[in-house]
Amino acid sequence: MTDDIPIDRSARKTGHGLIQDYLKTLGKGPGVYRMLDAQARVLYVGKARNLHARVSNYARPSGHSGRIARMIRETASMMFLTTRTETEALLLEQNLIKQLKPRYNVLLRDDKSFPNILVTGAHPYPQIKKHRGAKKEKGAYYGPFASAGAVNRTLNQLQKVFLLRNCSNSMFDSRTRPCLLYQIKRCSAPCVGKISEADYAVSVRDAERFLQGKSTDVQAKLAQEMQVASDLMEFERAAALRDRIRAMTAVQTVQGINPRSVREADVVALHMEGVHACVQVFFIRANQNWGNKDFYPRVGPDVEEAEVLEAFLGQFYDQKDPPGLLLLSHAVENPDLMQDALSKKLGRKVEIAVPQRGEKAELIEGAVRNARESLGRKLSETASQARLLDGLAEAFDLDAPPGRIEVYDNSHIQGTNAVGAMIVAGPEGFMKNQYRKYNIKGEELTPGDDFGMMKEVLNRRFTRLQKEDPDRDKGVWPDLLLIDGGAGQVSAVAEIMAEHGVEDIPMVGVAKGVDRDAGKEEFHRVGTRPFALRHNDPVLYFIQRLRDEAHRFAIGTHRAKRAKAVSATPLDDVPGVGATRKRALLAHFGSAKAVGRANLADLKAVDGVSEALAERIYAFFNERG
């Protein structure tokens, strides 16, 4: 890969004339190009097997769709990056699209990681648990599942079937008697020797065989054991085995469609209506349906299904491993190229298919139906949201319906563990990836000073906005601020806004009103008398939902901070003592106080604590004393 070809800042031309000038020095190898506007904002990122040939298409003065013609007219400069192969160009293109979010590209807007089930390794009694993120921990991973709820339901039933532990290693090591899960028949209590290591290993193998799709074999084995127990008149054990078989059946029922001929695949279906699109992804693993997830990529007019699906696949699998088979509802523009790129990422062959008949086609048909219905619901919700935003603009005398609403709230208990919270909503509902939390840092604040806390939060918010987006062209500045509070909170926020020179963003305080009853809210604005909306006004219900969401987020953030503070110990302040060594020290000595009283030789005896770290811990506590 070579460096960027620099932008010609002196060029005065724009549009196809400018692009023609670039062709004079542009090579014919593969690479990625970027089209930028007069403010150097990226309009579009594209890839090419032959950069010269691809870019020459934009140099033509006619023959373009409306979307491409507008993009060409706005182009004031271009950047180029050459690559060794077209596959490398494809991967780079999708990575740049995710980073830069160009206006004219198809963009996947929701790209979270998906949870897996992890059966841990490196322990005589493996743990079964939910895992999200990088697969750094040793063990066997099964997934992905479409949602945390799908994993939790499966884990809940698997606990009933295989009685595997879900407690952490430190809790396992500290148990002296069985926990509640043993009493309700969700765990075999290996922590206190209620099951042998060999028998527990058998349960682990059965659980993994089930997660690998060999559920029929496992059920047959359990049924045989149940019959033997019944013949021996061990009716309590037979009943327990019967309950485990029922639980296993419940897992399969929840999973729904279980294709016989498809062992491992992602089923990806697209439905488009105008400039709106929904992509539905079903995860098939071990011949079982492990859930589905819908996505709504940003598309423009004149975009074909092949372009949307190719962009989706590139961005979706940028940080995820693909399965060995992708079943698509539509062909992509460059199937061989995409297949090669995904195969290199996975380290083995990935097949891309558009099935026309048989069970695979039935899977696609079901996914397309789900995509169509999901998009219908989404468009209906968006239309309803648009009406509410119109009503909000009318109620608060705004110039236009707000595209971005920021709602602020604080949470604390008598000033302790104080946090501020910001939630964001817009035309498509809550924008949860834009939520922010603020740990209140002001040392001069009086505990419980809500006005001071709100001023600190808004001061930090506007300081960041002015630093990161001074020109207000990135879409992260709010069109409306809603503050949980009355006249005092509004005055505090207005003071901060004035300090930052922000005078054009409307701000409204939402106070509980008479008797603090929902439905009697009063709205406060600077320089005007408080007012209320009709009790049954849909806009009032909308504002209540916004305020309640901010309150929920603030309370959750506060509780998390409080829980962390409760578990804090002096060991947290010792340099070099992280979570793993902290657990080892507490398990060895029983408490942080005992660690502080330990001598140097005892500290060195703890697993994972080096001589240098032992001396640092000893010095830390003895210097404090």
Residues 290 and 334 in one domain: yes
Q: How many Cα atoms are found within 13 Å in the side-chain-facing hemisphere of 53?
A: 6
Out of 255, 290, 314, a domain closes at 255
Compute the distance between CA of residue 525 and CA of residue 541 in angstroms, rounded to an integer: 19
In a domain, 534, yes or no: yes
Residues 456 and 592 in one domain: no
In a domain, 382, yes or no: no
Compute the distance between CA of residue 308 and CA of residue 504 in angstroms, rounded to an integer: 38
SS3 content of the chain, % helix, strand, coil (to 5): 45, 20, 35
CATH number assigned to the domain comprising residue 587? 1.10.150.20
Out of 100, 132, 156, a domain closes at 100
pLDDT, tens digit, 9 for 90 and up, residues 307-327: 999 999 999 998 888 999 999
Residues 548 and 409 in one domain: yes
Residues 188 and 170 in one domain: yes
CATH number assigned to the domain comprising residue 292? 3.30.420.340
Helix/strand/coil (H, E, C) string of 21-80?
HHHCCCCCCCEEEEEECCCCCEEEEEEECCHHHHHHHHCCCCCCCHHHHHHHHHCCEEEE
Residues 340 and 371 in one domain: yes
Q: Which residues of the chain register pLDDT less than 70?
A: 1-12, 111, 214-219, 244, 247-258, 414-415, 443, 445, 513-519, 564-568, 623-625
pTM of model > 0.85: no
Amino acid at 220: A
In a domain, 396, yes or no: no
Residues 423 and 491 in one domain: yes
Size of the chain, expressed as the number of residues it contains? 625
Q: Which helix (H) or strand (E) holds 85?
A: none
Closest CA to 267 of 380, 181, 371: 371
Q: How many domains does the chain have?
A: 5
Domain of residue 73, residue span:
15-100
Residues 27 and 73 in one domain: yes
The pLDDT of residue 11 is 45
In a domain, 393, yes or no: no
In a domain, 275, yes or no: yes
The pLDDT of residue 8 is 47
Residues 510 and 619 in one domain: no
Q: Report the interhelical angle of 358-395 vs 538-566 (nearest 10°).
A: 110
The pLDDT of residue 122 is 82
Residues 143 and 79 in one domain: no
Helices then strands, each counted (H, E), the chain = 20, 18
Residues 437 and 558 in one domain: yes
In a domain, 52, yes or no: yes
In a domain, 454, yes or no: yes
Residues 270 and 336 in one domain: yes
Residues 471 and 520 in one domain: yes
CATH number assigned to the domain comprising residue 39? 3.40.1440.10
In a domain, 392, yes or no: no
